[in-house]
Amino acid sequence: MKSAVSRVVVAVSVAAALGLTAACGGGDGDGGGDRDGGKSSTSQAKPKGPGGGSGADGGSGADDSADRSPEAKKLKAKVIAAGDLKRPALKRYEVTPRERSKLEAASDGAAATPAACRPLSDMVAAATPPKAKAHAGRTVAPKRVRDDLATTDVELFAYDSPDGARKALREVRTAAKSKECGAFRAGGVRYSGVAPEAAPDKGDESVAYKIGSREEQFVKRHAVVVVRDGSTLVSFVARNYYDPEAVAGEEESRQGGGGSGLPPSDKADDEPEVPSVVVDAQLDKVG
């Protein structure tokens, strides 16, 4: 018998085994150049993995409370909160504190191997990158785990100047396109399946890529969109999980004529996608 967790993951959040693919609509694979406020946006959300905490107060997470610098306070005033979910398309979401896994927490400040790949893991971590002054983060999660919506981590990173943010985003773009960063390690986390994706036409410039990792028995896939707005980078990370052993077991059960009471894994190709409504709501507040 599968565990209760496996049942939920298979029924709700099944994703293609180790494909680690994710789509972000609009733009081109290089994320485009500098621009002023384009109109296209990322694709609407698909089913996702277990989700992002509880509560909808938009309060500070553990990382936020530790950073009381003036720059951090400014970012906290700009990060998405419960009161920003007024659009009809956002009614089924809630804002929760940004929670970090034990592996993320243990990897703070750890070097990446190769070193040039670190900007990719920085954009999915709830911590301030080495070249940024401050950061603030929240998670925008579906109110019900079975809603057909993405769980999206939103991070804001403040830099000294637009040039500093531009350079940081250029490093992300270069790493996403680099073959040596297709698989790399940062601290205790091993990332794989890295590749650039089409970026949305948002902010001054943007980059998108896919990246995967492991968390206990689950494969964790991320679709990442990073937008520069002046001297601020805004990272959107939609994620889902699946249990490869549970998926394999369900496939064997169907082939053998048995059944576990779960529906067929017809969503095995579903991929995490950053919801355009979340991007728009956060960028409106940053602007």
pLDDT confidence band for 213 (50 / 70 / 90): confident
pLDDT (tens digit per residue) in 121-157: 999 888 888 899 999 999 999 998 777 788 899 999 9
Which range has the worst mean pLDDT, 65-69, 109-113, 218-222?
65-69
* Spatial CB neighbours of 129, under 8 Å, sequence gap ≥ 6: 119, 122, 135, 157, 168
pLDDT confidence band for 241 (50 / 70 / 90): confident
Q: What is the pLDDT of residue 99?
A: 78
Give dist(CA 58, CA 49) in Å, integer: 21
Write down the mean pLDDT value for the chain: 74
User: What's the number of domains the chain is made of?
Assistant: 1
pLDDT (tens digit per residue) in 11-66: 333 333 334 433 333 333 444 444 433 333 333 333 333 333 333 333 333 444 45
Nearest CA among 102, 103, 101 for reference residue 190 = 103
Give dist(CA 225, CA 206) in Å, integer: 7
Residue 258, class by beta-carbon neighbours within 10 Å (0-12 exposed, 13-18 middle, 19+ buried)? exposed
pLDDT confidence band for 215 (50 / 70 / 90): confident
Task: State pTM to two decimals.
Answer: 0.72
Does residue 207 contact residue 26 with C-beta atoms inside 8 Å? Answer: no
Q: Which residue range forms the structural domain that includes residue 63? A: 4-286
pLDDT confidence band for 98 (50 / 70 / 90): confident
More confident residue, 13 or 271: 271
- Give the H or E element holding residue 212: strand 205-215
* CA distances for 4 relative to 134, 151, 244, angstroms: 39, 20, 15
* CA distances for 102 relative to 39, 188, 215, angstroms: 38, 10, 10
Residues in the chain: 287
pLDDT (tens digit per residue) in 101-124: 666 666 666 789 999 999 999 998
> What does the pLDDT average to over 182-199?
92
Q: What is the pLDDT of residue 188?
A: 81
